[in-house]
Amino acid sequence: MRDIDKLSVLIISDVMSKCNSSATAMEGIMEDLNDSDIDVIYEHEPEGIFGCTRIMSAGMDAVVVDWSMPDADKIISDIRGMDGNITIFLMTVPEALSDLPLDTISKVDEFLWIEGDSPSFMAGRIAAACRRYRRDLLPPMFGSLVNFSEDYEYSWHTPGHTAGAAFLKAPVGRLFYDFFGEQLFRSDLSISVGEIGSLLDHSGPIGEAERYASKVFGSDMTMFVTNGTSTSNRVVHMSVTPPGGIE
């Protein structure tokens, strides 16, 4: 299971195969990223590069593409086609800017001057981009739920909403707890948590999320309902069916 707090970056380059200053700089970048607890996937083989769909599905938070790689423009285009928001760094030298296609420039977000900036600064730029992407990725309600869970607050609002601690008192309860994991029970909250908002009056992040869902799906109004589609269908059915409407 992937740790939601774990950030990852994909680097597409063959610079590490060369014995020069660029290879030394890249090694420093990767070390700094690892020291910041950011996973680095380094891909330099053509067959691996064009498997980017598989790699991207693993959940990258930023991508670095070396312009000297074969078909770098196609790689950038494919990645941008898969994700319109992820930060793409183009690793090159200033002298190459005049030869870059405008279409490629329009698809990248930042340039990485591998021989111009310090490795720690470049790693910092990549790390900042990863954090921005992850922060902006979370929608209103889920984002507030993640933040609340990471605060490790006690939740005594409703019996049973205590991060699953009661299950630990019996062997079968421990098996149940281990199967689902602490994160599920820690985020099992009632509507009385002010930081999350309320389903009853559509306030806070819940209300914001409902309005966001309306915008995404083009509806006039969206209301979240607990207990899944069965309850949702029942709510709609009871609302639109007049007395005597069913024989």
What are the pLDDT digits (tens) for 119-147? 899 999 999 999 999 888 888 888 888 88
Domain check: are 48 and 117 in the same one?
yes
Work out how many domains the chain is built from and give that number.
Answer: 2
End-to-end CA distance of the chain: 50
Give the DSSP letter of residue 220: S
User: Does 88 lie in the same domain as 50?
Assistant: yes
In a domain, 180, yes or no: yes
- CB of 167 closer than 8 Å to CB of 186: no
User: Is 223 within the bounds of a domain?
Assistant: yes
Task: Say yes or no: 54 and 124 in one domain.
Answer: yes
Distances (CA, A) of 175 to 1, 99, 167, 168: 18, 61, 9, 9
Q: What is the pLDDT of residue 1?
A: 40
pLDDT value at position 72?
87
In a domain, 247, yes or no: no
Residues of the chain with pLDDT under 70: 1-4, 46-58, 154-161, 245-247
Regarding whether 127 and 32 lie in a shared domain, the answer is: yes
Residue 1 located in a structural domain: no
| Judgement on whether residues 198 and 181 belong to the same structural domain of the protein | yes
Query: Environment class of residue 58 by beta-carbon count within 10 Å: exposed (0-12), middle (13-18) or buried (19+)?
Result: exposed
pLDDT at 4: 63
The region, left, alpha or beta by phi > 0 then psi within -120 to 50, assigned to residue 39 is beta
**pLDDT at res. 120:** 92
Count CB neighbours of 81 within 10 A.
10
133, 199: one domain = no
Q: At a CB cut-off of 8 Å and minimum separation 6, what does 71 contact?
A: 49
- Extract the tokens encoding 208: 């914001």
Give the structural domain span for 54: 7-137
Q: Which of 93, 116, 137 is the last residue of a domain?
A: 137
> How far is 69 from 164, CA to CA, in rounded Å?
50
DSSP element (H, E) containing 12: strand 7-12
Tell whether 246 is covered by a domain. no
